[in-house]
Amino acid sequence: MTVKLVVLYTVPSDPAEFEQHYHAVHAPLVHKLPGLQRFETGTISTALDGGERTYHRVAELYFADEAAMSAAFGSAEGAATAQDYGQIAPPGSRMFVEVVDG
C-alpha cells in the first residue's frame, strides 16, 4: 500500500535563505532516495480558514510501502537527507507518514 511522507516546514527566520538551500541542496538529496516514486513540494500561500499561516513549505514523498520508505531512510542517501533536514527545518516543523487510500 502506497505511503507518503508529509513534511511541514514552519516559517523560517530567513525565507530567501531557506528557499535557496532547499532548492540547491535539500531537494536534490530527496531525489536520490532509493525507492522514491514521486516527490511534490510547494510553498503555502494562504490559510483559507482565516487562521495563521503556520507553515511555509510542504513536501510529499511517495513510496510503495512502509518497508520501501524505511529502506530509503536507512540508506546513505536517506541519512544525508535526514541530516540536512535537521539543519534546515525551522523549529516546529513536522513529519507525518500517511497511508494513501486510493
Q: What is the pLDDT of residue 32?
A: 98
Q: What is the pLDDT of residue 52?
A: 84
21-79 pLDDT tens trace? 999 999 999 999 999 999 999 999 988 888 888 999 999 999 999 999 999 999 999 99
Does residue 87 have a pLDDT over 80?
yes
The C-alpha atoms of residue 33 and residue 74 are separated, in whole angstroms, by 10
Say how far apart CA 39 and CA 97 lie, in whole Å.
14
| Complete domains list, the chain, with CATH | 3-38+62-99 (3.30.70.100)
Per the document, the length of the chain is: 102
Which grid cell sits at 54? 503556520
DSSP 46: -
Burial of 83 (0-12, 13-18, 19+ CB in 10 A): exposed
Q: How many CA atoms lie within 13 A of 8 on its CB side?
A: 12
